[in-house]
Amino acid sequence: MEEHILSVVQVCSQVALHGEEVARRAEKLQGHISYSLLWYNCEHFVMYCRYGTVVSFQTFQFCKTVRKLLLSRCVAKTTATLAACLFYAGALTLSSAGPLVLLSFLIWMSS
């Protein structure tokens, strides 16, 4: 736990606000912001109150990992193979297989 706190403090380039300002910000926001696991969670709240910036390093790492998994060559190959199999089985027409092939190509190029 202590190592995580140190890494967050080292990554955040903002200077921590004084305790009274942190408390004032927390009281001001209490009940006015709707919770969102990805876009405004407890880490976002604390970072805003303490540093004045709305960021969650855990959310950032999660989104980075998901993006890495989805934009991989393996996913591109799987999508292209699935499109070919569905086309061969007659479940797709040439016009509906086109977007799947284009999608797999775009994933391949972005990975």
Pick left, alpha or beta for residue 33 (phi over 0 → left; psi -120 to 50 → alpha; otherwise beta): beta
Element at 18 (helix H, strand E): none
Query: Dihedrals φ, ψ of 77, to 5°?
Result: -65, -40
Q: Tell me if residue 42 is catalytic.
A: yes
Asked if residues 52 and 46 have their Cβ atoms less than 8 Å apart, the reply is no
**105 has which bridge partners?**
none
Considering 12, 42, 63, 85, which one is annotated as catalytic?
42
Q: Which residue has the tokens 């569905």?
A: 86
Catalytic positions, written as ranges: 42
